[in-house]
Structure 1
Amino acid sequence: MRDMDRRNGVARRALLRTAVAAPAAGAATTALGDGPAHAAAPGGGGRFDPDSPRFTVAVLPDTQYLFDADSADPAPLRETFRYLVAERGRKNIAFVAHLGDITEHGTREETGLAADTFRTLHRKVPYSVLAGNHDIPGSTDDQRGGSPYLDAFGPRRLASVPTFGGASPDGYNTYHVLRAGGRRWLVLALDWRVSDRGVRWVQDVLDGHPRLPAILTTHDLAHADAGGTARLSSHGQRLWDAVIDRNDQIFLALGGHYWPPGRTVLTNRAGNDVHVHITNYQDRYYGGAAMLRLYSFDLVRDTVDVETFSPWLLARDPQERTPLEAETVELTGPADRFGMDIDFTARFRGFAPVVPPRPRPASAALLPDTAAYWRFDPAGTAAAGEDGAPVPDGSVVRDLSGHGNDLTARRLHASGPRALTWSADHHGGQPAHASLRFDGGKNPDRGAILTTGPHAPLNSRKFTSGYTIETFFKLPDPFEGDHAWMGLLSWEGRSGDAGKTTGWSPDEPTCSLNLSGERFVQFVVYPHRQDADPTSWSHAIPVGRWTHVAVVNDGRRTVMYVDGSKIARNPAQRSTGIATLGKPFVIGATQFAERFGQGFHGWIGDTRIVARALDPGDFLVPHSS
């Protein structure tokens, strides 16, 4: 609620419910250390997945007009809670944070009715609450002593919430530790007015959880102008100076109290963004109709999508909504529906840096039936040089499977030393922490290749029982020039010499992995037993980041996976084996009419061929099936 004098002498009218009995806060204690390590047990609406990279934090601002003496109506908030319980699994709701001013006057009757309403949510979805200036005497700070709010919503109630980590000795400030997105997060729920003693407690909590990204919630944090631009309030500035600015963990701070809603981004002393939001809809129809804001985190896309709506109004038949209900059911202005781009790895690096995995030994990649495995670090070649150094022609990369399919490097055409260089760049999940940088191109043709010797077993291997071919590659950013139809790997020779009469041209090789002008990965094969050329096509591959490609054939048909995901354009044609011609296997280019034109342009990492179909869980970067 906006700053205004509390109404004095409010008659304690009898409401629909009495207060939920709860012990006073005298027994509240502070629990530091690691705190809870798990998310709540699943409630209704399906199972919450704490390891999914997509999860939701729900935020409830001021509900005070729904708990206002004898005009109280808890129905909208009950519907919001029912929605959260029902949707927990589908939206992967990790937590619910109320921003204070639960009630209008803070009487025992209002607070009891609100506490009873919270039973719809209690033990089903973890939540936090905090006191707003209408829940307690607004002229006091967290050292005020007992209150109906503390009796109903104090630490003893919250102790049964599985994410609850502890409370300040006064009981008005609490913290929660939740697991979502495969990691732990800290939520601070702070009183309307945090005392100096409370500030010291907050710092102790942060110091006790130094690696956890934190969301700070309080009632009075910021106010906004009519355009939705937020500025810290005087109390918000105090919290900024005393807590937020100096603790890089806090990346998101949320408050209610004022309207209209708004947001801003501030820079802390570590030079990182802190998103500050004001969320309050009590001035809207039906006291805000228990308006709910969902913060949907996506750790893969590095974004948080925000939406605001009333589940109570959403549940009504659209044909029967009044004009005010239809106007309020969902808010889509720039302060209510928006996205936040957050590079979570970079933002959290200062306090929770990601420890890169160590290189894996070659033995870890040698599954049964491995036909060939190459890597470009010292484990794969004694000739591995410094990052950026040219790879000399004649350098040998060993086949670590032990089958004798060693590769020898050579440049194409009149290409210079920079056509092939050693590189320390690599895919984060790749076994070897090294790659080769190919600088191929057209007009004039240039590039470099690595080829097996004339008598390598791989040259004639037919793979009639199936195969898995996988490799890592990265395209430069910017991806400049014409590199259409450059090859990543192939077998030499003409498919026409193997009997091919169908498809685009008999001058194609019998098997190749290429990149089209639209950056689609193409796998085309002339099978050992069919006169056909089944071809798989990926989507457009991004530039500037590593990609893992696996081509899996089970002896009947071929399926391509990109970064562990099966692509759409896999041929239904039967495809058994590869019609190899006894000619070398190649990394770095594809022939046409037995001539190499351009070479590959970008990086290529570990490459492996297994003589059977692999499950995605067995790829060089394991993925769930």
Structure 2
Amino acid sequence: MIKRLKYLIFTGLILASCSQKARIVLLPDTQTYAEKYPEVLDAQLTWIAKNAKKIDFVLQQGDLTQNNNVKEWGIVKNAFAKIDNKVPYVLAAGNHDMGSGPGLFADVRNTSLFNTYFGEQNLKKYYGGSFEVGKLENAYFLFQTGKVKWLVITLEFGPRNEVLEWAGKIASKYADRLGIVNTHAYMYSDNTRIGVGDNWRPQAYGIGKDQGEKAVNDGEQIWDKLISKNQNIRWVFSGHILNSGVGTLISTNEKSLPVYQMLANYQEGVKGSIKGGNGFLRIVDLDFKEKSAQIRTFSPFLNEYKLDTANNFTLREIKFNTNIK
């Protein structure tokens, strides 16, 4: 009886300790793997599947494909099938995942293949709703890790004014939840948000001609219109940008609370990239008791870490609460 009691107490302590931590895996632009190196993408998803019990959810930052064609979408779908019903995952639609046809990137907002291959049925347990019925490029999801409740909003490439207005209403509705915005284009490689004069700005694509409520927004505009105004949105993850492919920025919102914003992208075209990124992904380990976040960049394909400070760092004194009082 005494041994049994000790076991229960010990087990309870373990569970209590675990509930004070969370692990999020970030899976940046997979486009080159879909086009040329499917074995690298398979290695990433196989690793996630094997470590499913240690991962709370996965966020993918868009450009799942390079050419937005059936062949590449099939490769991506088969890879993600490895974690179906094992680890919840949220995807973003990048400029390479939308367009009027294969190889036409964001000339129009056609995401038919994205939504055909990844419908809301994949996340019914966590799915909250979408801006447009039957479309997941603008949607929100509700997770819980221990006592921490999460709101994850995923946004299209160059989100429209009307989409940002919708997202703001969702953030307000779930103001008691810690918010993450997951989107394709937001941060630039100089540790600032994408803005006027930057390469690969959403306004430079075909959809950039739209006006009014359909007008696109870059990172700085997303910050001004959505992120800075909602006290519970504390994290923003994005990809898309080349150069070094990485960037980190901590900004203060209108309620004087810190917002942690990160760019991670290792695709073909990024400086030093091999095999479209060699399978590097990001592991974000949150410790609610210690008020810290450890960010590591790891490749299951190579079984190695990036050890430079842009890819391997710890954030401290993080405010995880959503109450500003």
TM-score relative to the length of structure 1: 0.42
The runs of at least 4 consecutive aligned structure 1 residues that moved more than 4 Å come to 48-51
2-structure distance, mates of 1:249, 1:233: 22
Three-state SS of the structure 1 residue aligned to 2:286 is strand
- CA contact under 8 A between 1:50 and 1:180: conserved in structure 2? no
CA distance in 1, matches of 2:176, 2:283: 25
Offset at residue 82 of structure 1 (A): 1.8
> 2:316 maps to what in 1?
341
Q: What TM-score comes out, normalization by structure 2 length? A: 0.80
Match of 2:184 among 182, 195, 219: 219
Could you tell me how far 1:140 is from its partner in structure 2? 4.9
Partner of 1:176: 141
Aligned residue-pair number:
277
Opposite residue 82 of structure 1, the aligned amino acid is T
In the TM superposition, 1:246-261 aligns within 5 A as 246-259=229-242, 260=244, 261=246
Residues 232-253 of structure 1: per-residue CA shift (max 9 Å, x gap)? 1030011101100100111111
Would you say the 8 A contact 2:175–2:322 is kept in 1?
Answer: no
Aligned counterparts, 1:132-151, within 5 A: 132-137=94-99, 138-140=105-107, 144-151=109-116
Q: In the alignment, is the contact (CA less than 8 A) between 1:106 and 1:148 conserved in 2?
A: yes
Q: Which amino acid is 2:237 matched to?
A: L
Query: Residues 232-284 of structure 1: CA distance to partner in whole angstroms, max 9, x if unpaired?
Result: 10300111011001001111111100132011111111111111111001131
Worse-matched range after superposition: 207-216 or 166-175: 166-175
Gaps of 5+ in 1: 1-47, 315-328, 354-625
Q: Using the alignment, how far apart are the partners of 1:203 and 1:294 within structure 2? A: 27
Distance in 2 (alpha carbons) for counterparts of 1:334 and 1:73: 27
Match of 2:44 among 65, 80, 91: 80
SS in 1 for 2:165: helix
Q: Which residue of 1 aligns with 2:255?
A: 270
Q: 2:194 aligns with which of 225, 228, 233?
A: 233
Q: Which has the higher contact order (CA 8 A, sep 6+)?
A: 2
Q: Which amino acid aligns with 1:309?
A: F
| Cross-structure match for 2:76 | 114
The share of aligned pairs that are identical, in percent, is: 26
CA separation in 2, counterparts of 1:125 and 1:341?
Answer: 27
Distance 1:87 1:217 in 2: 22
Match status 1:163 vs 2:146? no
Could you say which residue in structure 1 is the equivalent of 2:215?
A: none
Cα distance, 1:303–1:223 mapped onto 2, change above 3 Å? same
State the AA in 1 paired with 2:140: Y
- The answer to whether the 8 Å contact 2:148/2:178 transfers is no
Q: Radius of gyration: which is bigger?
A: 1
CA distance in 2, matches of 1:192, 1:343: 28
Deviation at 1:166, TM superposition (A): 1.8
Alpha-carbon offset, residue 113 of structure 1: 1.6
CA offset at residue 147 of structure 1?
1.9
Aligned partners of 1:184 and 1:136: how far apart in 2? 31
- Structure 2 counterparts to residues 91-490 of structure 1, below 5 A: 92-137=54-99, 138-140=105-107, 144-159=109-124, 162-169=125-132, 171=135, 172-225=137-190, 230-234=191-195, 235-259=218-242, 260=244, 261-282=246-267, 283=270, 284-314=273-303, 329-344=304-319, 348-350=322-324
Q: Is the 8 A contact 1:51 1:180 kept in 2?
A: no
The answer as to 2:30 corresponding to 1:63 is yes
- CA–CA distance in structure 2, aligned partners of residues 207 and 54 of structure 1: 25
Q: Is the 8 A contact 1:77 1:117 kept in 2?
A: yes
Report if aligned partners of 1:51, 1:183 keep a CA contact under 8 Å in 2.
Answer: no
Contact kept in structure 1, 2:63 and 2:96, CA below 8 Å? yes
Over residues 34-84 of structure 1, what are the superposed CA-to-partner deviations in whole Å (9 max), with x where a residue is unaligned? xxxxxxxxxxxxxx999611120110001110111xxx3322222211211
The structure richer in helix per residue is: 2
Match of 2:102 in 1: none
